[in-house]
Chains A and B, each alone.
Chain A
Amino acid sequence: MLAVAPRQDGADLLLSVPGVFAARAEGLAVGQRINLRGFDADHGQDIELSVGGLPVNLPSHIHGQGYADLGFLIPEVVQRLQVTEGVADPRQGDFAVAGSVGFELGVDQRHRGWRIESGYGLYDTFRQLVMWAPEGERDETFGAVSYRHTGGYGQRRDGDTASAIVQAGSRSGDWRFRGLGILHGARANLAGVVRRDDIEAGRIGWYDAYPDATAQAQNALAARFMAGFFGDYHGEGGDGGGFGLWLGADTFRLQENFTGFVQRSQTLADTAGRGDLIEQRNTTLSAGLTGRYRTEAWEPWEWVAARLEIGLDGRFDSVEQAQNLLGMPRNQTWDTRVDASILATNVSLWGDVDVTLAEIVRLHLGLRGALLLYEVDDRLGNFVPLVRPRDTFIMGFRRSAGGVVVGPRASAEVKATEWLTLRAGYGEGYRSPQARTLDDGETAPFTTVRSGDVGAVFSHEELVRVTVSGFWTELSDDVAFEAREGRLERIGASRRVGAVLYVQARPLDWLLGSLSATYVDARLLEPPPATADDPQPAFVPGQSLPYVPPVVIRADVGVHGTLIEDLLDQRLTGRLGIGYSFLGPRPLPYGGTADVVSLFDASAGIGWGPVDLGVSLYNLFDTQWAASAFYFSSNWDPTGIPTRVPTEHVAAGSPFTFMVTLGVSP
């Protein structure tokens, strides 16, 4: 399905995953907003994402725990998506709350060789791709470079991004080795959010940014380097194993003003109202390893086969992060909110017993445990407020904390008939904490997730495949976006109960279609109680979880085939694809509700020998939709009577746009 509907970037491939909706609300340099099975993984914190075995989520990131930006992905080199919904697999680690998505990279044998592709479209959008996959080599050997520039729709949405991915694979006896390197950089201006009441009153346009200096200074920069070396062993007796070593470096800087003019400096006396331009900086240096070994099958009887697989993975992260308030001109710092260094260590061990009974029943029984350690140098900890200038201590709060989390994982699959497979799974996973929230010696309060699934798969050869599943997930501590700090904050325990229908059909060789529909009832169980600082909390027990659409629908239909078998000694092929996405009304804090999202995309193309020409159309009917919708108080009228009642804010999603692409594969 990956090739059916148009994809603007690699993360859009997630739209092929049942129940997933992904959108870029903050430009080219900030991670996508991903919805999956009732989780609003604002920037990926609830989905364990990996690319070619390299983990993408960043622990204790300033913009959101588990922050993940898939902007480095080049869709043309994504060969396969490995999706695990729920947490029933012991291989799933940190951030696998809604599930895990692994992008496998490669270029299949049909597309090997050179490929040069240029695209140009609306809003001065240009994309250049150069890809090289040497013929005769394995799928995983390739190099690809992509550059993209856009003038951006509306105001202040221009940006540039470039990615380079190199992967090489080789084989030596029972071992296969693979080296992978990824380099990515992006910088983009941001329009930020605008108040819906300002739009409705005609004070600002849907695609505009506020004219104030601190709104016009919103931008983001992201750069990332990842490299890994992996080895896989396939023994003749069915045993196997592997190892992986990887390194990563990521830097992120964001300037974004959500609330206009409501902030006061905690550092400088009598300084307030200079514009709430939040600066977030985060640099993460990471190193990690993985290893696993699977035994040969133990077959005490002819109808029983059992294997044991054990594995480990671990990572070490050094994080430097800061959050400040900036004012104009020249980004003067007028308040400091975060200044911290974090050293995080995560060592995990897992085991999985795989039992096959008469080739009908397959059971997995597993366990995963993790030890997480944190050393935090919170340089603004024990903050000395302005009203207590003569305290008896120096600002700063250095501390360490650690904790262990262990959870069972189990799944069962029964091949009831040739066309019916029944599945069930249960798992207990975790999300590591934002280290700055930990106290000294605190047993790390992992966010634990308990998740169960039942489902059935009906399949008839390659003609049709229907998957129906129900899921239940309880999370001990959910998070939601907090506008005043511009990041995710804890909102208490939550529960999701829902169902997914996924239909994939290939009624004709040249016709492929899929439909996924997800319904979820997502509720907040124990939001933080009212306090003096927050006397009217945005959330009450039992309410719908904010930002989570109760219904997500995605449909794709694609046709492809040969138009003329021999045209000037070359075959002329054609393709046409249509995709449709629907998001139900997203509940917002304070009782707001975001509008439904209903979007059509389409693509068409012809290929003649080494040349292909395509056009991709996004948001076909030019629907005005909010890529993000929030509910909080802000004041964007610095010289008028301030408003204090929370209201809806939106970040406009992309209007109709198109891109024409010319590709040559000599």
Chain B
Amino acid sequence: MLFSAGCVEAATESTTIELTLAGADASAPFEGRDGAMITLERADVAFGPLYLCAGYTAGELCEEALAEWRDATVIDALDPTPTAPVAMNALTGTAHSYMYDLGIVSLLTEDAPLVTPAAESLGPASAVVEGRVAIDGQTIPFTVAVRVEQTETASRGTSVVRSGESESFDHAIEPEGRTALLVRIDPRPWLATASFRGLLEDATCAPGADLVCSGAIEQRCAEDGTVAETRDCASLGQPCLRGLGCVDHVELDPEGQIGRALRTGLSAGTRPTFEVSYR
């Protein structure tokens, strides 16, 4: 009788999930908005913390999570090789939703978010993307770094990226650490709505203008609106960008259209794939 007393039956039990993170083989050019051909050379993202939830809606209804990884790391989203595995603290059960941050964490207790060392190492930023985009006969080398953080006061303390209610997410978490989770991040969809054409212009000098691009030709304007000087950026191997003229490389404004599009892509665009396997 006493021996059976040690056997306690319960609803769930503590376990761990072996978590690995990986990027995608996205080094080949791909088509973006307006027919732009984008080639990514760097796509670093600060990923984490990550929570898996029992309910179908993450966020405030995930105050008690099924699994958590309370850290953040920089993922090279262009490298499909999984990172070294880390352990997620978990309970057995079925996860129906997830939520995560991108290195910048909203705290219930603080007005300012917590910037993790991973995000700090990027600038601080949640993601840094570098590449070249070919559009309208010009090739634009660019860099953009954005912060993705919780801005809704009412949602303070919850993760910035949450699975959608219509998203199918149904993964069992098994006991004894038998569950492995691979989160694969493809950076290509991040720039799906970014309009690089807005960086270009096809204008000519006019009164009040200082510097314009006429296609790949940089025009410096005189005070009366006539062309004072021209330069063929293409011959320099450079693009001519609106307001900048010929440049080797452009660091994009995170609050500009492309920066906003990237932020939207990271927080509300195509989600990572969650591949669950069991040992």
Chain A residues near B (Cβ < 8 Å)? 261-262, 264, 269-270, 272-274, 499, 519, 530, 532-533, 535-540, 542-544, 550-551, 584-585, 587-593, 632-633, 635, 638-647
Contact = CB atoms under 8 A, between A and B. Distances in A.
B131 interface: no
A302 B167 CA distance: 82
Contacts of B64: 536, 632-633, 644-646
Interface stretch (B89-97, B192-200, B249-257): B89-97
Looking at chain A's contact residues, the main secondary structure is loop
A551 B108 contact: no
Contacts of A535: 53-56, 61, 96
Contact of B9 (A272, A532, A544): A544
Contact of A539 (B11, B51, B62): B11
Contacts of B67: 645
B23 interface: no
Contact of B108 (A261, A587, A590, A647): A261
Interface string B93-106: 10010000000010
Nearest to A520: B5
A584 B6 CA distance: 7
B84 interface: no
Contacts of A644: 51, 62-65, 68
B71 interface: yes
B49 interface: yes
B2 A519 contact: yes
A575 B114 CA distance: 63
25 contacts: A261-B108, A262-B108, A272-B156, A532-B55, A532-B57, A535-B54, A535-B96, A536-B55, A538-B11, A543-B11, A585-B6, A589-B11, A590-B11, A591-B10, A632-B64, A639-B110, A640-B70, A641-B71, A641-B105, A641-B114, A642-B157, A643-B70, A644-B51, A645-B67, A647-B14
Top 3 A-B pairs, shortest CB-CB distance: A536-B54, A273-B108, A535-B55
B108 A639 contact: no
Nearest to B55: A535
Contacts of A638: 107-110
Contacts of A592: 10, 14
B116 interface: yes
A633 B93 CA distance: 16
B8 interface: yes
Contacts of B8: 544, 550, 585, 587, 593
Nearest to B88: A645
A543 B11 CA distance: 6
A551 B2 contact: yes
Contact of B109 (A499, A530, A639): A639
Contact of A540 (B11, B62, B89, B116): B11
A262 B156 CA distance: 11
A606 B64 CA distance: 56
A633 B108 CA distance: 15
B70 A585 contact: no
Contacts of A273: 107-110, 156-157
A85 B165 CA distance: 51
B154 interface: yes
Most-contacted residue by chain A among B5, B13, B67, B70 (CB, 10 A):
B5
Contacts of B4: 550
A175 B34 CA distance: 103
Contacts of B236: none
B66 interface: yes
B65 A633 contact: yes
Looking at chain B's contact residues, the main secondary structure is loop
A590 B10 contact: yes
Contacts of A588: 10
Most-contacted residue by chain A among B64, B91, B153, B157 (CB, 10 A):
B64
B67 to A, nearest CB: 7
A498 to B, nearest CB: 10
A328 B96 CA distance: 37
A365 to B, nearest CB: 33
Contacts of B63: 262, 633, 644
Contacts of A532: 55-57, 61
B5 A585 contact: yes
A460 to B, nearest CB: 25
Given A270-B154, A270-B156, A274-B109, 8 more contacts: A269-B154, A273-B110, A536-B91, A536-B93, A550-B8, A643-B70, A644-B64, A645-B65
Nearest to B70: A641
A326 to B, nearest CB: 15
B230 interface: no
Most-contacted residue by chain A among B63, B67, B72, B154 (CB, 10 A):
B63
Contacts of B121: none
Nearest to B92: A591
B126 to A, nearest CB: 15
A533 B64 CA distance: 10
Contacts of B13: 590-591
Interface in B44-80: 49, 51, 53-57, 60-68, 70-72
B90 to A, nearest CB: 7
B28 interface: no
A644 B72 CA distance: 16
Most-contacted residue by chain A among B14, B51, B68 (CB, 10 A):
B14
B12 interface: yes
A593 B9 CA distance: 10
A324 to B, nearest CB: 18
Contacts of B66: 536, 645
A645 B5 contact: no
Contacts of A641: 49, 70-72, 105, 114, 116
Given A550-B5, A641-B114, A590 B12 contact: yes
B114 A640 contact: yes
Contacts of A590: 10-14, 91
Contacts of B62: 644
Nearest to A640: B114
Interface string B105-128: 101111000101000000000000
A645 B157 contact: no
A525 B66 CA distance: 24
Contacts of B61: 532-533, 535
Nearest to A632: B64
B2 A642 contact: no
Nearest to B60: A264
Nearest to B65: A644
Contacts of B14: 590-592, 647
A643 B11 contact: no
A519 B1 contact: yes
A591 B11 contact: yes
B11 A537 contact: yes
Nearest to A499: B1
B110 A591 contact: no
Contacts of B114: 639-641
A587 to B, nearest CB: 4
A41 B153 CA distance: 42
Contacts of A647: 14
A425 to B, nearest CB: 23
A264 B108 contact: yes
Contacts of B71: 641
Contacts of B107: 273, 638-639, 642
Contacts of A639: 107, 109-110, 114
A272 B10 contact: no
A261 B157 CA distance: 10
Contacts of A587: 8-10
B157 A272 contact: yes
Contacts of A591: 10-14, 91-92
Contacts of A540: 11
A539 B9 CA distance: 11
Nearest to B1: A519
A591 B9 CA distance: 8
Contact of B5 (A264, A519, A589, A646): A519
Given A587-B10, A638-B110, A642-B107, A551 B5 contact: yes
